[in-house]
Amino acid sequence: MKLNTYELQPNNTSQKSFYKKAIVHETDNKIELQSYQTIVITINKDKRTIMKTWNNYSATTMKHVSEFLHQIIGYSIGKAVWDKLKAHEEYSIDEFIKIYEGVYAW
């Protein structure tokens, strides 16, 4: 299984860089986001699932997570959605979108 590691680029924000604090690890079936020294969220490409792997919150890590998810699945999230996700529980993309829409419903 080949591992591709690269720095997350802030494409959807005015920020110029994450200064090597947000690293993406990608294999054939998984994409993981490392914020600082911690893997915080994982996407399983085969199962099409998302799993929050860190149960804490920081504003900077949330910026990393939001950018990562926007680039991978097209959804930027904030603390309200992050708090709804249970750590170490897999959510299908459809389940994730329902949580997202429930939080951001007009």
Domain count, the chain: 1
- The rounded mean pLDDT for the chain is 96
pLDDT of residue 98: 96
Q: Which domain holds residue 47?
A: 4-103
pLDDT of residue 56: 97
Stated pTM of the model: 0.94
pLDDT of residue 10: 97
Identify the CA nearest to 77 among candidates 92, 67, 90.
Answer: 67
CA 99 to centroid of chain Cα atoms: 14
CB 18 within 8 A of CB 33: no
CB 78 within 8 A of CB 66: yes
pLDDT of residue 2: 78
Identify the CA nearest to 30 among candidates 10, 53, 55, 50.
Answer: 50
Q: What is the pLDDT of residues 14-63, one digit of tens each?
A: 899 999 999 999 999 999 999 999 999 999 999 999 999 999 999 999 99
Say whether pLDDT at 106 is over 80: no
How large a percentage of the chain has pLDDT more than 70? 99
Identify the CA nearest to 88 among candidates 46, 45, 55, 43.
Answer: 55
